[in-house]
Structure 1
Amino acid sequence: MLNQRVAEVTARVQARSATLRGAYMQRVASARGQGPLRGHLSCTNLAHGFAAAPTGDKILLREIRKANLAIVSAYNDMLSAHQPFEAFPVWIKEAAREVGATAQFAGGVPAMCDGVTQGQPGMELSLFSRDVIAMSTAIALSHNMFDATLCLGVCDKIVPGLLIGALQFGHLPTVFVPAGPMTSGLSNDEKARIRQLHAAGKLSRDELLEAESKAYHGIGTCTFYGTANSNQMLMEVMGLHLPGAAFVTPGTPLREALTREAARQAARITALGDQYIAVADIVDEKVIVNAIVGLLATGGSTNHTIHLIAIARAAGIVIDWTDFDELSAVVPLLARIYPNGSADVNHFHAAGGMGFLIRELLDAGLMHEDVMTVLGRGLRRYTQEPFLLDGELTWRDAPVDSLDADVLRKADAPFSVDGGLKLLQGNLGRSVIKVSAVKPQNRVVHAPAMVFDGQDELLAAYKRGELERDFVAVIRFQGPRANGMPELHKLTPTLANLQDKGFKVALVTDGRMSGASGKVPAAIHVTPECVAGGPLAKVRNGDLVLLDAEQSVLRVDVSEAEWLARDVARPDLTANGFGMGRELFGAFRAAATGAELGGMSFGFME
């Protein structure tokens, strides 16, 4: 039986979305055509479209009878997560031919890494890279040569961008093809310890780099549970992967087998056969609710309180932080993966992984089972895990019991009875906080504000010895319109050091903290943002700020008369508009919606 709160939130989302969803589905219906879509092209158009194809593929493309698959890839060989995609197009094309279809590399999308740009000016392009990726996906598919799409992407903004773009071609079947995590390196506890020592000036840069190189050491996704691996979890609970595909490491026979099967499955579900499954029919209100539940049950990235909203809106579905908050109250935390624990995603996968997790959530009535997936109707199929039997890909039921109860647990014996993500409200606006990694004694901080206009200002104050005290760090003018909303993860070791010394510290910001938000309480994504006149821009040094994650309160203790009389701070932000390509993103910043509206630079059927 479906949990009552899950049913109530779903019904509310359906009612709230009725008009937009109806308009979106009408657009999808009008885009569906009879026969292969390239059959609608003129002879000149079509000849351009297959001019470079191999002879065998050219014959099939010219006959306009069989499915043609679009490969849209985030491959580059600088980033470990995306380097494995180099081999995938060949496998996909071979597998497509096995089932009488063809595949073409339709287009590439940019893939930037927050791990490389963290704390650098380039990070200010990060959030908007999602929208660039969505538009790049649309450009790749705009040739109308394709009957299905295979999206190859892993990391933070890439998967949301690919899905937002694919949803604008909602009539096409879409299968997401992951690359998998790198093998485990330096333990997460040791990595965090070394970072804190360096922040405290007790380790050299060379020593820090040596440790980081042991942590990030090969091909595949970073193994901590940040936004990249939250993406893979989401694609699986949304039914957009093959079952169990999320966390199989690259460079293995199973990874190759799953990639080839993804291509074959994409060919099977085009409108040319009797198993047609459009991506618009998969991503509905129930699936979006399932995605939120999966995020909460695993302690996933806070970035998805922005990205899931944007993804939903791309499909004509309207959700907000109240939906996350209400679901969090009934969804138990079933996984402990760094930064919510010491294990990495490889440990999670070995303990039972996605199949175990999804079965527990279905059996507890916390997920909708009657949803469409790339394999057809029903999420129960995703309680299985893939393996090779005599070299052939097959599936078996996930373990009945967790193979490591320190990493993954049953729904009736969770790490926490709630999902650890909360909505904070008060006279400073609306904000989200992830408390799954924050100890209970650190979840309420009532202390004087120290106001900074960037993370470097705080770090400089720390080096001057000015932060040896209880305080709430207010980092303002970090929202989408101010500077593109970079993550402020650079602050984590410093604030953690101060907290470890016994000081009561917290962070309040209209920026993002990180997909790896950790043990320091952080009220993030404060909206309205400061540059839009948000009340956080009125806070002054010394104001008492209350961050209460137990009672869901975020406020400043200033009399109403004084608060109303205060002006909003308006610092000079012109430096945010140039250097490192930021000049090209002025229109994005000017058009960006607030964080609770998805931080988007474009709107969907307002």
Structure 2
Amino acid sequence: MPLHSRIDEITDIIRERSRPTRDAYLTRMRAQAQEGPRRGHLECGNQAHAYAAMGDAKDALVAERTPNIGIVTAYNDMLSAHQPFKDYPDRIKAAAQAVGATAQVAGGVPAMCDGVTQGQVGMELSLFSRDVIALAAGVALSHNTFDSALYLGVCDKIVPGLVIAAATFGYLPGIFVPAGPMVSGLPNEEKSQVRRDYAEGKIDRKALMAAEMASYHGPGTCTFYGTANSNQMLMEFMGLHLPGSSFINPGTPLRDALTDYAAQRATEITALGNAYTPVCDVLDERAYVNGLVGLMATGGSTNLVLHLIAMARASGVQLTCADFDAISDTVPLMARVYPNGLADVNHFHAAGGLPFMIGHLLEAGLLHDDVATVAGTGMVAYAQEPKLSGDRVTWEPGARESLNDKILKTPDAPFAKSGGLRQVKGNLGLGVMKISAVAPELHVVEAPARIFHDQQSVKDAFRAGELNQDGVIVVRFQGPRANGMPELHGLTPVLTVLLQRGFKVALVTDGRMSGASGKVPAAIHVAPEALDGGLISKLQDGDVIRVDAAGGKLDVITEGVEDRAAATPDLSGNSHGIGRELFEVFRATAGRSDEGAGVVV
């Protein structure tokens, strides 16, 4: 099927916009690749330090004739999604040794759990942890002794940070290795109802805790379709995962075999062989367009608007929020996974999952097939699913028919004609909205504003009965420069209850919402942020605001707002406690949210 004309046009726009930075990036990568295998440029003393603990592998490392794989791991026990990575290095080393290669843990990167820090002070470090992860991975790879890399990461900021690092070391081949989702527990909608009941005071904390523990109950990624699972989808659509590997549960024979295969494949795509596939060749403008298509077709997390822009910049590609909007208009919504439906990612995978979607999107001309991938055969390989043949992985064609049409549909009979992500722009600045789960009657909300400077104040007003009316809840001074742009996940139950009570409400914020939010009309990531001169800093209670997803508008209707003085809240408390002192330089130098809110790119 020829490429859809609109996808082709959007790709050309991105390519031309990016030409100067992409050409400069590729020139740097080609120059570094020309230096040959990295170990060969180390002095004898340098090499002796690098190989001192490698035992019987020392001779192979010194000989420089076989690949050495660098493992960058985000393992820790705090993240259920990352706990399975504990045993991966030993597996990878054994798999590499089986094909005559070597592998070393190059280094670890931090990985914080947004589920633990939601609504807590630690969440103010979350977004910046992406940049810390990129920096830490850079330190790990700076030893310059590796022919390719395996990146072990899953969750919210970890994959974007690792992609930024992988792009920076783009002359090295790299494969991203997932751990898979936990098996299904308490259904997500039941968990959310318990949260709403708790917000209204209908149940006590013991009942809330029981529900949460039944939902998050074992190793693996949380099963809702938030940022972590959107990351996994993205790595397949962008050709950095092995095909069909994202949603295989931890601790299963197929999961282990895929990890072994990733290690072996990492030895095959180095410059020492005939299938050299550096990350810089994988991460071009077509890969990012494919990632955007996947994001829209699956109804993925709004956090990826920030992350994809930052990731692309690290590889010389310039994305804008308008690109997200344009792709969303072109790509139909093919999946209903919580919070956009009742199914979790295990149900999604069982219904046909990513191979089903990629196969149909290719047939509809909505994906670039002629791209470099770690599988080596373009995107058509990702329409296949992995199977076990003995103890080895083989790939077979994925499902052609949806095994549950309440979860998965084809592009010609989708759940919605567009992907449901909208850019909104007006005198209040530029923001994004995810409307794939928002009722059509809420796509336009025009109502008086209630102004808050933190999410706890919103909760307090809700409990006091002050929000029982139509209104636009404005939560400002939540941007990167103000306090690190924490997710305002705690607002979702409150605002959902107001919708259930029949009130027409919307949220406007320069902060973020969780990748698991979706039913509340929310204009988020508003830029410029309040602390950076945005008009949102001049709003007052009662100002009439129009949030118009249908028309792509975000405006304050009340006249004279721009003539007011900006609010000057006390933000001194944002600068200390739980490590915030260490991140002052990040807050001071963070970019705008519509530019990726990055520090290192």
TM-score (ref. length: structure 2)? 0.99
Partner of 2:149: 149
Which of 582, 585, 588 aligns to 1:587? It is: 585
Partner of 1:468: 468
Deviates more, 1:340-349 or 1:436-445: 436-445
| Pairs within 5 Å for 1:60-75 | 60-75=60-75
Alignment partners' CA distance in 2, 1:581 and 1:318? 32
Cα distance, 1:444 vs. partner? 1.5
- 1:37 paired to 2:35: no
| Pairs within 5 Å for 1:131-530 | 131-530=131-530
Cα distance, 1:361 vs. partner? 0.9
Deviates more, 1:25-34 or 1:531-540: 25-34
Partner of 1:28: 29
Alignment partners' CA distance in 2, 1:99 and 1:237? 28
Alignment partners' CA distance in 2, 1:583 and 1:101? 44
- Note if contact 2:539-2:561 (Cα within 8 Å) is conserved in structure 1: no
Cα distance, 1:33 vs. partner? 4.0
SS in 2 for 1:503: coil
Partner of 1:555: 555
- Note if contact 1:226-1:301 (Cα within 8 Å) is conserved in structure 2: yes
1:31 counterpart letter in structure 2: Q
Cα distance, 1:43 vs. partner? 0.3
- What is the CA RMSD across the aligned residues, in angstroms? 0.8
Alignment partners' CA distance in 1, 2:579 and 2:336? 38
Cα distance, 1:181 vs. partner? 0.2
2:524 counterpart letter in structure 1: I
Indicate how the Cα distance of structure 1 residues 430 and 530 shifts in structure 2: closer, same or farther if over 3 A, else same.
same
Alignment partners' CA distance in 1, 2:541 and 2:356? 49
Partner of 1:576: 574
Cα distance, 1:551 vs. partner? 1.3
Cα distance, 1:35 vs. partner? 4.4
SS in 2 for 1:301: coil
Alignment partners' CA distance in 2, 1:505 and 1:21? 43
SS in 1 for 2:330: coil
Which of 581, 596, 599 aligns to 1:598? It is: 596
Indicate how the Cα distance of structure 1 residues 510 and 380 shifts in structure 2: closer, same or farther if over 3 A, else same.
same
Alignment partners' CA distance in 2, 1:377 and 1:80? 33
SS in 2 for 1:241: coil
Partner of 1:48: 49
> 1:2-61 CA deviation, whole Å, 9 max, x = no partner?
111111110000000000001100110111145431111000000000001122x11111
Residue segments in structure 2 that go unaligned for 5+ positions in a row: none
- Note if contact 1:303-1:514 (Cα within 8 Å) is conserved in structure 2: yes
Alignment partners' CA distance in 1, 2:136 and 2:372? 26
- Note if contact 2:78-2:113 (Cα within 8 Å) is conserved in structure 1: no
Alignment partners' CA distance in 2, 1:563 and 1:247? 49
1:405 counterpart letter in structure 2: D
Cα distance, 1:601 vs. partner? 1.0
Percent identity of the aligned residues?
Answer: 58
1:328 counterpart letter in structure 2: S
Alignment partners' CA distance in 1, 2:467 and 2:35? 66
- Note if contact 2:331-2:418 (Cα within 8 Å) is conserved in structure 1: yes
Alignment partners' CA distance in 2, 1:567 and 1:363? 55
Alignment partners' CA distance in 2, 1:35 and 1:141? 16
> 1:190-235 CA deviation, whole Å, 9 max, x = no partner?
0111110000011111100000000000000000000000000000
Alignment partners' CA distance in 2, 1:455 and 1:105? 41
Alignment partners' CA distance in 2, 1:193 and 1:544? 31
Alignment partners' CA distance in 1, 2:456 and 2:8? 45
Cα distance, 1:377 vs. partner? 4.0
> 1:386-408 CA deviation, whole Å, 9 max, x = no partner?
01123321111001100000001
2:179 counterpart letter in structure 1: A
TM-score (ref. length: structure 1)? 0.98
Alignment partners' CA distance in 2, 1:602 and 1:276? 28
SS in 2 for 1:201: coil
Alignment partners' CA distance in 2, 1:327 and 1:141? 34
Alignment partners' CA distance in 2, 1:68 and 1:327? 39
2:562 counterpart letter in structure 1: L
- Note if contact 1:226-1:515 (Cα within 8 Å) is conserved in structure 2: yes
Alignment partners' CA distance in 1, 2:576 and 2:562? 34
Cα distance, 1:566 vs. partner? 1.1
| Pairs within 5 Å for 1:91-130 | 91-130=91-130
Cα distance, 1:273 vs. partner? 0.5
SS in 2 for 1:545: strand
- Note if contact 1:36-1:65 (Cα within 8 Å) is conserved in structure 2: no
Runs ≥4 in structure 1, deviation > 4 angstroms? none
Alignment partners' CA distance in 2, 1:495 and 1:377? 46
SS in 1 for 2:316: coil
- Note if contact 1:450-1:471 (Cα within 8 Å) is conserved in structure 2: yes
Alignment partners' CA distance in 1, 2:35 and 2:58? 21
- Note if contact 1:36-1:147 (Cα within 8 Å) is conserved in structure 2: yes
SS in 2 for 1:567: coil
SS in 1 for 2:412: coil
- Note if contact 2:535-2:562 (Cα within 8 Å) is conserved in structure 1: no
Cα distance, 1:567 vs. partner? 1.3
SS in 2 for 1:38: helix
Alignment partners' CA distance in 1, 2:171 and 2:548? 45
SS in 1 for 2:415: coil
Alignment partners' CA distance in 2, 1:387 and 1:237? 19
1:6 counterpart letter in structure 2: I
SS in 1 for 2:380: helix
1:315 counterpart letter in structure 2: S
Residue segments in structure 1 that go unaligned for 5+ positions in a row: none
Alignment partners' CA distance in 1, 2:562 and 2:388? 66
> 1:50-105 CA deviation, whole Å, 9 max, x = no partner?
001122x1111121211100000000012110000011111100110111110000
Alignment partners' CA distance in 2, 1:168 and 1:601? 14
> 1:301-332 CA deviation, whole Å, 9 max, x = no partner?
00011000000000000010101101111100
Cα distance, 1:602 vs. partner? 2.4
- Note if contact 1:35-1:65 (Cα within 8 Å) is conserved in structure 2: no
Partner of 2:83: 83
- Note if contact 2:538-2:562 (Cα within 8 Å) is conserved in structure 1: no
Deviates more, 1:69-78 or 1:382-391: 382-391
Alignment partners' CA distance in 2, 1:565 and 1:525? 23
Alignment partners' CA distance in 2, 1:598 and 1:293? 19
- Note if contact 1:93-1:104 (Cα within 8 Å) is conserved in structure 2: yes
